[in-house]
Chains A and B, each alone.
Chain A
Amino acid sequence: GAVVSQHPSWVICKSGTSVKIECRSLDFQATTMFWYRQFPKQSLMLMATSNEGSKATYEQGVEKDKFLINHASLTLSTLTVTSAHPEDSSFYICSARTGVDTQYFGPGTRLTVL
């Protein structure tokens, strides 16, 4: 099946710094990618839909100025957590859509903000 990678797989940063997470589709092109957040022992919550060449669509309650999304190519979307705080610590997962009901998920990035 299609492969989606994320980098880094885990990151620890100091409060107030910014962190960039990359999501790549390795063997296919994806015009649409999604970013999810998963709290411990909870389900995935959709944060935003990333469309290649256009602005991301954010879900209600997600701060677009804090979670910057860039989808500059058909194989790469990035999520930048700006001025990170401990409450931003979470597991961030991206996915890439290849069909109407088909998404492939990345392995996730665990962010810890000290």
Chain B
Amino acid sequence: GNSVTQMEGPVTLSEEAFLTINCTYTATGYPSLFWYVQYPGEGLQLLLKATKADDKGSNKGFEATYRKETTSFHLEKGSVQVSDSAVYFCALIRGRGQNFVFGPGTRLSVLP
């Protein structure tokens, strides 16, 4: 079946550090890939997405590239801020009418 694996957290970084959160997936066909962010006490918000191989999604300084050969969609940001502290979820959807499959989430804490 379809599944998403993320690096275990929590991840604690200092402000302006480089961030990588690994995400790999298992799916048949060509899923669309997503990163969602959940700030404390809030629901999920779409951060970025990529719908086909080699696509790069980017938003708010975050980016992730759809790598079909390694079935990965790692999230990166060159310089994190305290306001980036949140839980990040990698997710996939396989096609029309299908449901999202979420990874377990990675909690990021950025210290000033």
Contacts and interface: CB of A to CB of B under 8 A. Distances in A.
B6 to A, nearest CB: 9
Which has the most chain A C-beta neighbours within 10 Å: B51, B97, B99?
A: B99
B95 A103 contact: no
A4 to B, nearest CB: 8
A44 B43 CA distance: 11
Contacts, number: 43
B99 A105 contact: no
Contact of B44 (A1, A49, A93, A100): A93
Interface stretch (B13-21, B64-72, B101-109): B101-109
Nearest to B92: A101
Given A44-B44, A44-B89, A93-B43, A103 B100 contact: yes
Interface string A14-46: 000000000000000000001000000111101
Contacts of A49: 99
Interface of A: 1, 4, 6, 34, 41-44, 46, 49, 93, 95, 100-101, 103, 105-108
Interface of B: 32, 34, 36, 41-46, 49, 51, 89, 93, 95-97, 99-100, 102-105, 107
24 contacts: A6-B43, A34-B100, A41-B107, A42-B104, A43-B102, A43-B103, A43-B105, A44-B102, A46-B99, A49-B99, A93-B43, A93-B44, A100-B97, A101-B49, A101-B51, A101-B93, A103-B100, A105-B43, A105-B44, A106-B43, A107-B41, A107-B42, A108-B42, A108-B43
